Amino acid sequence: MPGNWRSSIGWLTALAVAGVFALGIWLHPRPVASLLASASGAGLSRPITFAPSQPKLLVAPVSTSSPTPGVTATSPLAASETPVATAASQAASLASTPAHAIAQPTPVPANDELAEVVTPTPPVEIEGVAARQGGVPILMYHYIRVNPVKSDRAGFILSVTPADFAQQMRLLADNGFHTVTMAQVRAYVRDGKPLPPKPVAVTLDDGYDDAYTAARPILERYHQTATFFIITGFVDHPRYVTWGQVEALDHEGFEIGSHTVHHPSLPRLGAPSLRFELETSRSTLESHLGHPVLDFCYPGGELDQAVLAGVARAGYLAATTTRSAVAQRGQNPLELPRLRVWGGMTLRYFASIVG
Ligand SMILES: [Zn+2]
């Protein structure tokens, strides 16, 4: 029948087109995946310069500094495609944040990640590592977790496992290092106030919930302190700390710093939005903590002269970047460099950057 003949031709054509399409996909694997794979193999001669994981946008459609590809991150958007929220809309979105519903600190879960932490580890051997010549390394962490999506290379790089973090803190404890707060770093850089021997500052960006559930118990076990840079607009949202946890960290002696309200790329903001991100994050933290918050962290390490001036005008006394170096006395405290600790870093390499 002519109708059946035409139908058969149609099916054959459709199959042929589908075959050609499938062949095209096979021959052109995802460029992002291959890019990340090649970047992650860059070697240990220098820190890998991945941008921090961009928290999932939960509050307002502000611009993103360096979106990270991956299942759990927002889709990368070109700057021109990304609307920058006005200060008014950001204020409105902040008002929608359920800050009044302060949750109690969640108990530390007995999950696989933490079971890994308590596994005995052999003594750390750091002999042969060159001694540092002055200054204070400010270590930069993001997640303290086992990366949940194995194919997410960026997520892997940003995720130091609880077991590795425990080994790193144990190395510091066992080898005469002294972790210091950003307040101490500030006093050293600005005023030359001496630091204890072998000082190291530990900073954790973005305020993910594992800062409280995984990093905190390890820091306490090895009697180390740290500074947590909080994105105030994301607090109390899934995967982030609660206000109760932020307050608990502060009460336990950890330092809390500002990481803006929404983690935007600050150089892209107009003056009102820039001022809002800098000042409202600080005042929100101060209202919860009841004392001044004087340390700031640039989202994605992005800053320019206008941002620098805004940070000073907002009253911050120190600010951390993602530039890779050891912080030194006498440098601008609003442009403090840090050293990234990435997922999979060997303990020996860790020893070399703090040594
Ligand atoms: Zn960040």
As residues whose CB is below 5 A from the ion ligand 1, the structure lists: 52, 205-206, 299
In the reported structure, the alpha carbon of residue 142 is separated from the centroid of ligand 1 by a whole-number distance in angstroms of 8
CA 103 – ligand 1 centroid, Å: 23
SS3 328: coil
Token duo for residue 188: 């050293």
Tens of pLDDT, residues 115-143: 344 444 445 555 555 556 789 999 999 99
Please give the distance, rounded to the nearest whole angstrom, from the Cα atom of residue 68 to the centre of ligand 1.
Answer: 11
Q: How far is the CA of 292 from the centre of ligand 1 (A)?
A: 21
Whose tokens are 């911050």? That residue is: 316
Q: How far is the CA of 227 from the centre of ligand 1 (A)?
A: 13
- Tens digits of residue pLDDT in 130-180: 556 789 999 999 999 999 998 999 999 999 999 999 999 999 999 999 999
Cα Rg of the chain (Å, integer): 23
pLDDT above 60: residue 210: yes
With contact defined as beta carbons under 8 Å apart, do 153 and 342 qualify? no
Q: Give 52 Cα–ligand 1 centroid separation in angstroms.
A: 6
Kindly tell me if the per-residue pLDDT of 3 is higher than 90: no
pLDDT over threshold 50, residue 52: no
Give Cα separations from 174 to 126, 162, 189, 354 (angstroms): 10, 18, 26, 13
C-alpha 308 – ligand 1 centre gap (Å): 17
Looking at residue 134, what is its pLDDT? Answer: 84
Per-residue CA distances from 308 to 93, 117, 321, 346 (Å)? 25, 39, 11, 35
Please tell me the distance between residue 51's alpha carbon and the centre of ligand 1 in angstroms: 9
Q: Ligand 1 centre and the CA of 54: distance in Å?
A: 7
Report CA-CA distances (Å) from 294 to 251, 259, 283, 286, 327: 16, 11, 11, 10, 18
Query: How far, in Å, is the centroid of ligand 1 from the Cα of 266?
Result: 12
At residue 10 the predicted structure's pLDDT band, cuts being 50, 70 and 90, is: low
What was the pLDDT predicted at 47?
32
pLDDT of residue 129: 55
Mean pLDDT in residue range 240-265: 98
pLDDT band at 221 (very low <50, low <70, confident <90, very high): very high
Task: Please check the confidence at residue 190 and state whether its pLDDT lies above 80.
Answer: yes
How close is the Cα of 16 to the center of ligand 1, in Å? Answer: 47
CA of 258 to the centre of ligand 1 (A): 10
- 43 CA distance to ligand 1 middle (Å): 24
Question: For residue 261, what are the CA distances in angstroms to 58, 91, 117, 134?
Answer: 11, 10, 32, 34
Give the Å distance between the CA of 105 and the centre of ligand 1.
Answer: 22
263 C-alpha to center of ligand 1: Å? 6
CA 123 – ligand 1 centroid, Å: 33
100-137 as b/e, with b when 16 or more CB fall inside 10 Å? eeeeebeeeeeeebbeebeeeeeebebeebeebeebbb
